[in-house]
Amino acid sequence: MDKKIQVIREDVQQAKNEAKKYIQFPVAEVSYLLQQIEIKDKALELYGDETNYTTEILVPGEEYSSLLILDDKGRVARAAIKGEDIL
């Protein structure tokens, strides 16, 4: 898991324990979390799009895969988990 998200998570827990410590999240942290959600959403959309799982038969007995995901082998997912936007 992304270290910055873990720190934010710990801050939220501490804020819950000390209710008066935080009234609202700092804008930078919220912006960061929204950016991370967008990265992960793009990766999920890639893997969730059924058209990325189609195969076409060009020659009888031979399949051509137009499957971006087979070529990807989880690269987009691994990057998204790290918080990197590669799409």
pLDDT value at residue 58: 60
pLDDT value at residue 22: 53
Residue 69 CA to residue 86 CA, distance in Å, equals: 14
Instruction: With a cut of 60, say whether residue 57 has pLDDT above it.
Output: no
DSSP codes, the chain: --HHHHHHHHHHHHHHHTTTS-SS--HHHHHHHHHHHHHHHHHHHHHH-GGGG-EEEEETTEEEE--HHHHHTTHHHHHHHHT----
What is the identity of the amino acid at 28? A
Instruction: With a cut of 90, say whether residue 69 has pLDDT above it.
Output: no
Instruction: With a cut of 70, say whether residue 64 has pLDDT above it.
Output: no
Average pLDDT for residues 39-60, to the nearest whole number? Answer: 80
